[in-house]
Structure 1
Amino acid sequence: MAEQKMNQAVEEISVTKSDLRTIFWRSFCHEASYNAERQQALGFAFTLTKLLKKLYKDDKEAYVEACKRHTEFFNLTVQITNFVVGIVTALEEKNARSQDKNMGPTISAVKSALMGPLAPIGDTFFWGCFRIVAASVGATLALKGNLLGPVLFVLMFNIPHLLVRWYGLTLGYKLGENFISFMQEGGLLQKLTEAAYIVGLTVIGAMTASYVGVTCGVEFSIGESVINIQEILDGIFPRLLPLGVTLFMAWLMRSRNVKPAIVILVTVVVGLVLGAAGFLIV
């Protein structure tokens, strides 16, 4: 009888597949309460609240402490946040099973430590790679009037997102606090990041040449000959003006901290003025 009660108690503080599925669905609200002070903290806490109630149902004080530590500052690319959620889930389970439940500082430290190395991966793959590739394919089809354009955009971006969200959660839970050391073995973390950067930059370069339409409309005559400035520029460097305009805008936003809205507004105004004067064809 005593052994049966012990087994039952262990099951009550164990994470099941049902618990992981619940965490997965609740994680879609991760940015629902995004704020300037703690950013994604409330969403992170909401993702784990139901599990924490189960793990610490016999210890109200430990439950309150767990909720408090998950309302601390947290910010990470939302598509890969479940990696961290899975690791934290394993740590909370281990903490709930311990006698003194003193792993709180360790759990907070692991969360803070994981934000730095994981953020470049998430930003690179999802914002610098998948989003751009999906937008490129979708925009190309949409410009041709193909209704599959927006559909493919949504699918190409969200299929990897959903797979990473689920398998990231389960992998993080299995690996626990050893996740980062696993990824760093053999330089896997660095190789994946560099590969994603290369793909993303290649796609950005192709989109610059294809979708930034800036052409010099200046022509002048010398005797019977007509000199076209755009033809000269193309002979030196094809698509030089689109590249120059793109790099100049990137410089304004990154080095001079000019807001994108201002860059867009100035671009529209300058384009209209120079286009009306015949200097540029945009």
Structure 2
Amino acid sequence: MNKIEKKQLKSVFWRSFALQGAFNYERMQNVGYMYAMLPVIKKLYRNKEDQAAAITRHLEIFNTTPAVVPTIMGISAAMEEENANNPAFDVQSINAVKASLMGPLAGIGDSIFWGTVRIIAAGIGVSIAKDGNLFGPLLFLVLYNLPNILVRIFGLKLGYQVGVNSLDRIQKEGLMDKIMAVATIVGLCVVGGMVATMLNITTPLKWNISGAEIVVQDILDQILPKMLPLAFTFGIYKLLKKASITKITIGIIIFGIAVHLIGIL
């Protein structure tokens, strides 16, 4: 039986600090996530084919608050361990669970670390530093990073332990199909939220008919808010089945410039 040891979990912890090192706007933190999972992958899978499959699996889009990522990594490690030892395990559930957790944990993590801890730590540090005390910046770094590091340490341990214990129960009671269904729904909600908040596509088209101004964007918003970003997303999704990312990206740039010059968008 292939079993993850403390050595691999420690490596995952330290590597998690490089999460943002290869951030990109196509799949965001995916490379950093895969890099952190490499010690686990190499420990669990002996042949190159299985290792390559696991690496590819963790290169899917991923984005959440860095401090809470080790918690998800711990769960991923437990699921990879189960996959390595159980031929009947549904490998697709690994990414499904990741996708279902990154949204809710991002909301919690951003609120705690970006919205609360950072502001409190900065306030205390600035109040000391404004008098010329060099201890101010140092205190800010300590107050902000100490809870960050503690959450990473205990989150990784908790994620792995919960993952191991839960998977035993899930396999015995046949709950994986239900979890997959819930994870898929949550994942789709996350994608929908990303489309609504990260894509801003509007049209400036308007006409003046008999003294009344008709604004096309207002009409579209009344029918369905964010209709253009949604239509754009569905269009790109359809193109992904027919063309490469590079071609689609170039096409988006050309299309964007063209419709802007014409005055449609």
TM-score when normalising by structure 1: 0.57
Task: Give the counterpart letter for 1:73 in structure 2.
Answer: I
Distance 1:121 1:171 in 2: 17
Distance 2:70 2:90 in 1: 20
Distance 1:35 1:108 in 2: 19
Matches within 5 A, 1:20-31: 20-31=9-20
Instruction: Specify the alignment match of 1:118 in structure 2.
Output: 105
Residue 171 (1) aligns with residue 158 (2): yes
Unaligned runs of 5+ in 2: 168-265
| Number of residue pairs aligned between Structure 1 and Structure 2 | 166
Say whether the 8 Å CA contact 2:4–2:43 is kept in structure 1.
no
Distance 1:17 1:63 in 2: 20
Instruction: Specify the alignment match of 2:29 in structure 1.
Output: 40
Task: Give the counterpart letter for 1:91 in structure 2.
Answer: M
The offset of 1:60, in angstroms, is 2.8
Q: Which contiguous aligned blocks of 4+ residues in structure 1 show a shift greater than 3 angstroms?
A: none
The offset of 1:26, in angstroms, is 1.1
Which range moved further: 67-76 or 102-111?
102-111
Partner of 2:96, secondary structure, is: helix
Q: 1:217-258 deviations in whole A, cap 9, x for unaligned?
A: xxxxxxxxxxxxxxxxxxxxxxxxxxxxxxxxxxxxxxxxxx
Unaligned runs of 5+ in 1: 1-9, 180-282
Distance 2:39 2:9 in 1: 11
Distance 1:119 1:109 in 2: 16
Identity rate, percent: 43
The offset of 1:98, in angstroms, is 1.1
The offset of 1:50, in angstroms, is 2.1
The offset of 1:118, in angstroms, is 0.7
Partner of 1:141, secondary structure, is: helix
State which structure, 1 or 2, has the greater radius of gyration over its C-alpha atoms: 1
The offset of 1:62, in angstroms, is 2.1
The offset of 1:91, in angstroms, is 0.4
Instruction: Specify the alignment match of 1:64 in structure 2.
Output: 52
Matches within 5 A, 1:238-277: none
Task: Give the counterpart letter for 2:19 in structure 1.
Answer: H
Distance 2:80 2:49 in 1: 14
Partner of 1:30, secondary structure, is: helix
1:73 pairs with 51, 56, 61, which one? 61
Task: Give the counterpart letter for 1:157 in structure 2.
Answer: Y
The offset of 1:61, in angstroms, is 2.3
Distance 2:103 2:21 in 1: 22
TM-score when normalising by structure 2: 0.60
Residue 159 (1) aligns with residue 146 (2): yes
